């Protein structure tokens, strides 16, 4: 039986300032560092030994992974970074304060953009200086693959190929896997492996810095789920 651990990155500087972050590369806050270090201590206490680690290409997730692995004495294990594990792209909302956005567009509209499964936010033009098209870490991608904005449905569609090609085969082989990523990319994976409906996934939250541990059988069915805190 394989173990799969999800960790949403610790609190980021923009979580702290209540800004839409998405693909913008911001750092962990001091509290976020503490949360990530605590995750490592929890994993060490649990005695989970990992064979492979995965994370996004965004600093807050990468550092969370490293703190967690260091705290559990496993910083040496193989690690793969992929843009497919990035946070949901919040389009033109990125960088805006959430409360100010609600004042500008209305609470109801912002709520729909944040919580709807298949409604896109206002899109960010590829020519905008804040577009990921200008970021060197995505230079290898087809420009059409770089989003101007995503909902959870689109996030799921880009995450699942990585799950099927990279993560699932290792779990089937019995390897223990840790994935340090983001609230929405992990919610997308959670929806997929737990077969959660489009409606019910909107009520699922991923707490920052708290490891979620799955035991999976050889068919990747969930045998048990446990949150460490």
Distance CA 37, CA 31 (A): 10
| Rounded distance between C-alpha atoms, residue 18 and residue 102, angstroms | 12
Which residues pair with residue 226 across a beta bridge? 213
Exposed, middle or buried by CB within 10 Å (0-12, 13-18, 19+), for 122? middle
Backbone angles phi, psi at 79, to 5 degrees: -135, 135
Report CA torsion sign: 92, 182, 208, 193. positive
Q: 140 in helix, strand or coil?
A: coil
Q: Could you give the residue numbers annotated as active site?
A: 9, 87
């Amino acid at each position: 039986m394989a173990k799969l651990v999800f960790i949403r990155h610790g609190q980021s500087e923009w979580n702290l300032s209540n800004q839409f972050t998405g693909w913008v590369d911001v750092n962990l806050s001091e509290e976020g560092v503490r949360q990530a270090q605590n995750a490592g201590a929890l994993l060490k206490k649990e005695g989970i030994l990992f064979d492979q680690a995965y994370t996004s290409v965004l600093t807050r997730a990468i550092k969370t992974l490293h703190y967690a692995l260091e705290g559990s004495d496993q910083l040496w294990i193989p690690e793969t970074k992929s843009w497919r594990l990035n946070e949901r792209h919040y389009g033109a909302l990125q960088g805006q304060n959430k409360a100010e956005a609600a004042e500008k567009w209305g609470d109801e509209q912002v709520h729909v953009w944040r919580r709807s499964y298949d409604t896109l936010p206002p899109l960010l033009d590829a020519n905008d200086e804040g577009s990921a098209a200008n970021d060197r870490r995505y230079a290898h991608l087809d420009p059409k693959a770089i989003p101007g904005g995503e909902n959870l449905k689109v996030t799921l569609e880009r995450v699942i190929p990585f799950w099927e090609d990279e993560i699932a085969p290792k779990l089937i082989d019995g390897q223990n896997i840790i994935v340090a990523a983001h609230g929405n990319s992990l919610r997308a994976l959670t929806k997929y492996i737990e077969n959660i409906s489009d409606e019910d996934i909107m009520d699922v939250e991923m707490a920052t810095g708290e490891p979620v541990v799955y035991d999976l059988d050889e068919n990747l069915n969930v045998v048990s789920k446990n949150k460490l805190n």
